[in-house]
Amino acid sequence: MTMKKSNSEKAQLLVEALPYVNRFRDKIIVIKYGGNAMINEELKEAVMQDILMMKSVGMHPILVHGGGPAINDMLKKLNVKSHFEQGLRVTDLETMEIVEMVLAGKVNKDIVGTLNQLGGKGIGLSGKDGNLIRARKKYLEKDGEIIDIGYVGEVESVNKEMLDSLIYGGYIPVISSIGMGADGMSYNINADYVAGAIAKAMHADKFMLLTDVEGIFRDYHDKDSLISRMTLTEAEELKAAGIISGGMVPKVDCCLDALKGGVANAHIIDGRLKHSILLEVFFDEGIGTMIEQGNKEE
């Protein structure tokens, strides 16, 4: 049975949060929204509440999302087969049309609808809106040969002025990971990299990746080995040593790229934990793994 907090305990929580409210007021925080937090309705609502709380105390959250499970469901319904190369979906023109329909349409508008229903001012965007995300075509290399994977892209540039006008106008941008190439075509871009590129372009104070793991471990099989805090240099050393490996590598790479681009702190946090964003932003202990500039003693 869950014990109710006393009034003094509730007050203490507010007092603990106050320095962080003051510190991050008017700061930009980019959140990559994905994993189980997008699928579970209770977690989804908690994420939206967290973002609204941040906005209500003067922070400027920007939400970036993918939507792999929703894309898979739609491809299955339409009987369109797809396959992957090196973890990336090979995207022909038919698949790209479906990807854009799902990400920029259904998934994006569902998120915006939830935000607005809760009292926010969410505005849904794809990279094609206002030339928000200019993309270049991505190629893979295998055994010395170049592999064409279709309409898959990389971020070339971000329209910072457009996002500035929205966030300082009181809106919460919700951005799907679709970019537009110089050829006018749509390109599917990994949402982690889109979020990192936006964090870098916006000189964000925080870049947060919601995942389905607790953070970075020295030994994934030892749950007591979670690394709560590390520097950029330490992260590079752990990656070189193979301690950061597998699916965590691209997430850490996004964080490192954002940090090198001027973002103050990057966080990999467990989106399966209700209100994980608030716990990371507003309280002393935080959760997950924070990667920061400079030395921890500074």
Helices then strands, each counted (H, E), the chain = 11, 16
What span, in angstroms and rounded, lies between the C-alpha atoms of 74 and 98? 7
HSE at residue 200, side-chain half, CA atoms within 13 A, is: 20
Q: Binding site annotation covers 229?
A: no
Residue 103's Cβ-count burial label (10 Å; 0-12, 13-18, 19+) is buried
Which residue type does 175 have?
Answer: I
**Alpha carbons 193 and 140: distance in angstroms, whole number:** 16
Q: What is the distance between the alpha carbons of residues 51 and 268, in angstroms, rounded to a whole number?
A: 17
Say what angle helices 191-201 and 160-167 make with each other, to 10 degrees: 80
Q: What is the largest CA-CA distance in the chain?
A: 65
188 belongs to an annotated ligand binding site: yes
Q: Which of 32, 40, 34 is nearest to 61 (CA)?
A: 32
- Contacts with 218 (C-beta within 8 Å, 6 or more apart), sequence order: 225, 227, 238, 243
34 has binding-site annotation: no
User: DSSP E strands: which ranges in 143-194?
Assistant: 145-158, 172-176, 178-181, 186-188
Binding site annotation covers 218?
no
Binding-site sequence positions for substrate: 67-68, 89, 188
Binding-site sequence positions: 67-68, 89, 188
